[in-house]
Amino acid sequence: MQLDRIDRKILQELQKDGSLSNLDLAERIGLSPSPCARRVKALKDAGVIGRTVTLLDPKALGLSLTALIHISMDRHTPDRFEHFEAEVANYPEVQECYLITGQAADFVLKVVVKDMDTYQQFLLGKLTRLEGVTGVQSSFVMRRYKDSTELPVPEEYPIA
Amino acid sequence: MQLDRIDRKILQELQKDGSLSNLDLAERIGLSPSPCARRVKALKDAGVIGRTVTLLDPKALGLSLTALIHISMDRHTPDRFEHFEAEVANYPEVQECYLITGQAADFVLKVVVKDMDTYQQFLLGKLTRLEGVTGVQSSFVMRRYKDSTELPVPEEYPIA
DNA sequence: GGTGAAAAAGCATTGCA
DNA sequence: TGCAATGCTTTTTCACC
């Protein structure tokens, strides 16, 4: 699938505001509603456009502590990783979990909790109890300069 | 503002699917449409509910490389930080940028690009040219176990 | 604070130029 | 691709429980 300038504009607008009606979207990109709807449908069918979600304000919810956690495992076997993955996916405090290269760590987690007490409970009660976890290194977010869900939409022709 | 069980259910549903109509939402939480709409409005007014966005699939867009970058600065002055912040906010490749505690680094960035070539261009052409940047350490995401926008909605009474 | 119904507005969709 | 008309869904408001 090839994206032209209009497709990219559609993607940019929807990334900024997923509640746009097709009418409003069409107006913003300078197209009439029907071709606009057709393009959006094609982008959905191609899997480029995914879910629409509502973002909440962590502060308003009293979630004032965000931690980035680097985790090392004792052994790098598929077993270890799969088990870790499955457990971590169930923790609502964990927003992101990546297996990474480089560094000393194997995993990076982004965790959001109410306060340091809750964080300690999460760390001692859940994370460090997981099999194979040998090292845990916490960093805390002091300031959130940018926290976006927007992806850059490439200039050229990407292939879906 | 106090959240009861129904409010929390609303927030959970909307975090999963931001395109829900008030009708569908009301049905899911077991309430009739009008009080449901009232609650949603109140949550928006209180700032708990923020924007609604459409998520794209990085892979479908040909964005196959995600990097976590740790950055250290030469001096920890407000000037340095503000300048860095302002520049980084303009880079579309940067999804997240945090000022963090601990570690050797001062900032953590999450960057999404097409491939290693593009990453190198970003690093050399943009990031390392910023004033005050002394250390850059890259990790690459090998596997994305969890990548969510959902926040945990606390059990007790948070205050907005 | 919740329910149900009714009215009004806005929307997606379709067919055609 | 653009336009127009149809028919629907949705939001909103109201009186009542």
10-residue averages of pLDDT along chain A (160 residues): 92 98 96 95 96 97 97 94 96 98 89 98 97 96 97 69
CB contact under 8 A, A100 and B63: no
Provide the CA B34 to C1' D13 distance, Å, integer.
10
In chain B, the residue whose alpha carbon lies closest to the alpha carbon of A45 is: B60
Amino acid A104: pLDDT: 79
Instruction: Compare CB distances from A61 to B114, B147, B153 and report the shortest one's residue.
Output: B153
Return all residues near B61 (Cβ < 8 A) that are at least 6 apart. Answer: A48, A151, A153, A154, A158, A160
Mapped onto helix, strand or coil, the DSSP state of residue A63 is coil
pLDDT tens figures, B39-68 = 999 999 999 999 999 999 999 999 999 999
| H helix intervals, chain B | 5-16, 22-29, 33-45, 78-89, 116-125
CA distance A155 to B54: 20
- Whether B156 shows a pLDDT value over 70: the answer reads no
pLDDT (0 to 100) of residue B126: 97
Query: Out of A99, A142, A152, whose CB is closest to B143?
Result: A99
The reported pLDDT for the residue numbered A98 is 98
- Please give the angle made by the CA atoms of A145, B120 and A104, to the nearest 5 degrees: 70
Q: Which helix (H) or strand (E) holds A49?
A: strand A49-56
Separation between the CA of B61 and the C1’ of C9 (whole angstroms): 37
pLDDT score for B79: 93
Give me the amino acid identity at A2. Q
Q: How far is B12 from A158, CA to CA, in rounded Å? A: 34
Instruction: Give me the residue from A57, A139, A152 closest to B48, CB to CB.
Output: A57
Cross-strand pairs, B139: B68
pLDDT confidence of residue A160: 42
Helices (H), chain A: 5-16, 22-29, 33-45, 78-89, 116-125
Q: Which helix (H) or strand (E) holds A96?
A: strand A94-100
Over residues B25-49, mean pLDDT: 96
Interface test with A, best of B145, B148, B156 (most A CBs within 10 A): B145
Q: What is the CATH number that goes with domain B59-140? A: 3.30.70.920
pTM: predicted TM-score of the whole model, two decimal places: 0.93
Q: Are A116 and A65 in contact (CB under 8 A)?
A: yes
pLDDT at B155 exceeding the cut of 90: no
What's the Å distance between residue A150 CA and nucleotide C14 C1'?
33
Chain B CB contacts of A11 under 8 Å are 56
pLDDT digits (tens, 9 = 90+) for B89-108: 999 999 999 999 986 779 99
| Topology alike, domains A5-45 and A59-140 | no
pLDDT in the model for residue B154: 83
Q: Give me the percent of chain A exceeding a pLDDT of 90.
A: 92
- DSSP annotation string for A122-154: HHHHTGGGSTTEEEEEEEEEEEEEEE--PPP--
Question: Cβ(B82)–Cβ(B73) under 8 Å?
Answer: no
pLDDT at B160: 44
Q: Is the CB of B42 under 7 A from strand C?
A: no
Cα A3-A38-A54 angle, rounded to 5 deg: 85
Each domain of chain A, given as residue ranges in start order, spans 5-45, 59-140
Q: Which residues of B touch A68 (CB under 8 A)?
A: 98, 100, 108
Q: What is the pLDDT of residue A159?
A: 42
**Helical residues (DSSP H) of B65-115, grouped into ranges:** 78-89
CA of A51 to C1' of C5 (A): 34
Residues with Cβ within 8 Å of B17's Cβ and at least 6 positions away in sequence, in order, are A51, A52, A53
Beta bridge partners of A111: A67, A94
Beta-carbon separation of B140 and A108 below 8 A: no
Closest CA–CA distance from residue A150 to any residue of chain B (Å)? 7
Q: Retrieve residue A87's tokens.
A: 């457990």
CATH code, residues A5-45: 1.10.10.10
